[in-house]
Structure 1
Amino acid sequence: MIITVASGKGGTGKTTVSVNLAHMLGSKVQLLDCDVEEPNAHLFLQSEPKEQTVVTIPVPQINEGLCECCGECAKFCEYHAIVSFGTTPLIFPEMCHGCGGCSIVCPKKAIGEIDKRIGTVETSEVENILLVQGRLDIGMAMAPPLIRAVKNRLQQGLPAILDAPPGTSCPVIATLQDTDFAILVTEPTPFGLNDLKLAVAMMQEIDIPFGVVVNRFGVGDNRVHEFCKEQQIPVLLEIPDDRRIAEAYSRGELIVDALPEYRELFQGLIEKTMHQFNTQTA
């Protein structure tokens, strides 16, 4: 089973839920940190990468001797990574998605490809957790190809928890693809509710079963709970607004280790997630 932990905004506690959930599974589990622009799961697992692989994407290279400046490549590119004004096309590698379509449509086969580095995939192992994380190079804009490279490390037969990037844009969709169940983490504030609505709309559009975790329960108001009740969205867990949790977080400690009384809550999250998956997919 593949579970993705996501949210409509950053700072809600996705990584907190992901690492503690993985730790509480007890058995062998894969934890994929797909927040490749700012991976931080390793900070709570005290792990150092044992293996590092460079990830590249193919970007176009123009053979000016063959190019007739027809502009077909620029017409094809939806991302405007190639621009032609009746002269040799200009290439903007940072905007290229590496699809290779421009080289296919070129009538003179004047477009080849070169590899452009976008980041690395790092793997490590801590107790029952096999951690795989992507790290996007500074200045790179294309997170989805690196996220796919991280997900290519998934091992069949092992449960997996994916820590998604915040928001509802392309990197999140790339993470959610082929997911069995999603956990949306929010907080009971007006900002939390606004971004939860965006995340819920996204989940309904891509049709993946999901539930909600409310972090910092006790602050704000009850509008998040009212929204979930109206939309018939299950609330899987409420994490109290406990200063001790923030202190443990600042030390890079897992909640379930620093505060054992919370182990039961995360064990309940595992059970409720499995129940909702079985109910919503029946």
Structure 2
Amino acid sequence: MIVKIAVLSGKGGTGKTTVSTNLAAAMGIAYVDFDVEEPNGHIFLKPRNLEETDVNIMTPVIDHEKCTLCNICVETCQFNALANTGKKILVFEDLCHGCGACSLACPEEAISEYPRKIGVLYEGTYDESGFYSGKMALNEPMAGPIITEIKRRIPKGTDHIVDCSPGTSCNVVKGVDGADYAIMVTEPSVFGLHDLKLAVELVEEMTIPMGIVINRSNEYDHLIEDYARESNLRILGKIPFSKQAARIYSEGRLLSEDPQIAGIFDSIKATVLEEVSHAVSHS
């Protein structure tokens, strides 16, 4: 059974990467960081033998001597990356998705393309498992092409945990797509519950089974537990709100290095594998 588990949250800062890295290490499977705007899984897993590869998208260049200002390229572009000023065609590189439609549509063959760097991806190992990550270049607005490229680098048949982007954007959809199971990480607060509901709604729309991990567990856990009961969602485990956990985290170490917290992740691992097995057998 090949396993793909997506870990997500309705917002940043809830402990998504904490759960992703510790659970990947506990399960001994590959870790994939799709949070390419601010990846930090490497801080905790300490990957080795990292190979760095540029991620480029093909971006149009207008030959103004050949261009007749027919406007076909502008009308073809679905992303408003081209504009006709009446004197020349302008290219807004930040809006370009690299689809190549404009160059194909140009009747004068006045559009060529060049590879524009939008980020990098990293491949390596931690322990005996794979590590895959990426990072957007500064001022780049689109994470999608980098996430797509990371996906292509994961060997077929590799069990892995995906550390999704925060929130419920298109980038999160890319990360969750194809998952056997989703882990929703939340914190016991009114704001945490609000964002959890958004993430649950997204995953429900994608018809992917899911469960909840409560991070920074405290006396307000009932907020999440009541919602989970009403929504028929399983609480997979709770990570304590403790000074020891905060200290380990701040030192860039896995929480599972603490024997007591390691037991919590072993329990979460067993519950998740049970849920995944049930989900796959009924898919």
TM-score range, shorter chain: over 0.9
Answer yes or no: is the 8 Å Cα contact 1:70–1:86 preserved in 2.
Answer: no
Secondary structure of the residue aligned to 2:247 is helix
Instruction: Give 1:78 deviation, angstroms.
Output: 2.7
Secondary structure of the residue aligned to 1:223 is helix
Distance 1:225 1:195 in 2: 15
Please list, as runs of the form range in 1=range in 2, the aligned pairs for 1:99-248 lying within 5 A after superposition.
99-220=99-220, 222-248=222-248
Aligned to 1:15: 17
Instruction: Give 1:219 deviation, angstroms.
Output: 4.7
Distance 2:222 2:86 in 1: 59
Distance 2:267 2:156 in 1: 25
Aligned to 2:274: 275
Unpaired segments ≥5 residues, structure 1:
none
Question: Runs of 4+ in structure 1 displaced over 6 angstroms?
Answer: none
Answer yes or no: is the 8 Å Cα contact 2:48–2:126 preserved in 1.
Answer: no
Answer yes or no: is the 8 Å Cα contact 2:180–2:279 preserved in 1.
Answer: no
Instruction: Give 1:13 deviation, angstroms.
Output: 0.5
Distance 1:93 1:271 in 2: 47
Aligned to 1:260: 259
Deviation string, structure 1 residues 189-215 (Cα, Å, up to 9, x no partner): 111111111111111222222211111
Deviation string, structure 1 residues 27-81 (Cα, Å, up to 9, x no partner): xx21111111111111112335531111101111222233222223222323211
Distance 1:260 1:37 in 2: 32
- The one-letter amino acid paired with 2:7 is V
Answer yes or no: is the 8 Å Cα contact 1:237–1:265 preserved in 2.
Answer: yes
1:3 to 5, 17, 23: 5
Distance 1:48 1:278 in 2: 31
- The one-letter amino acid paired with 2:40 is N
- The one-letter amino acid paired with 1:6 is L
Answer yes or no: is the 8 Å Cα contact 1:148–1:175 preserved in 2.
Answer: no
Secondary structure of the residue aligned to 1:52 is strand
Go from structure 1 to structure 2 and tell me whether the alpha carbon gap of 1:214 and 1:221 turns closer, same or farther (over 3 Å shift). closer
Distance 1:192 1:248 in 2: 23
After TM superposition, the score normalised by the length of structure 1 is 0.92
Answer yes or no: is the 8 Å Cα contact 2:181–2:279 preserved in 1.
Answer: no
Distance 1:71 1:220 in 2: 59
Question: In percent, how many aligned pairs have the same letter?
Answer: 38
Answer yes or no: is the 8 Å Cα contact 1:23–1:128 preserved in 2.
Answer: no
- The one-letter amino acid paired with 2:22 is N
Answer yes or no: is the 8 Å Cα contact 2:62–2:110 preserved in 1.
Answer: yes
Instruction: Give 1:153 deviation, angstroms.
Output: 1.4
Instruction: Give 1:238 deviation, angstroms.
Output: 1.2
Go from structure 1 to structure 2 and tell me whether the alpha carbon gap of 1:126 and 1:63 turns closer, same or farther (over 3 Å shift). same
Q: CA RMSD in A?
A: 1.7
Secondary structure of the residue aligned to 2:153 is coil
- The one-letter amino acid paired with 1:171 is N
- The one-letter amino acid paired with 2:19 is V
Instruction: Give 1:102 deviation, angstroms.
Output: 2.0
- The one-letter amino acid paired with 2:13 is G
Distance 1:239 1:177 in 2: 26
Secondary structure of the residue aligned to 1:222 is helix
After TM superposition, the score normalised by the length of structure 2 is 0.92
- Would you say how many aligned residue pairs link Structure 1 and Structure 2? 279
Instruction: Give 1:22 deviation, angstroms.
Output: 1.1
Answer yes or no: is the 8 Å Cα contact 1:21–1:270 preserved in 2.
Answer: yes
Secondary structure of the residue aligned to 1:115 is strand
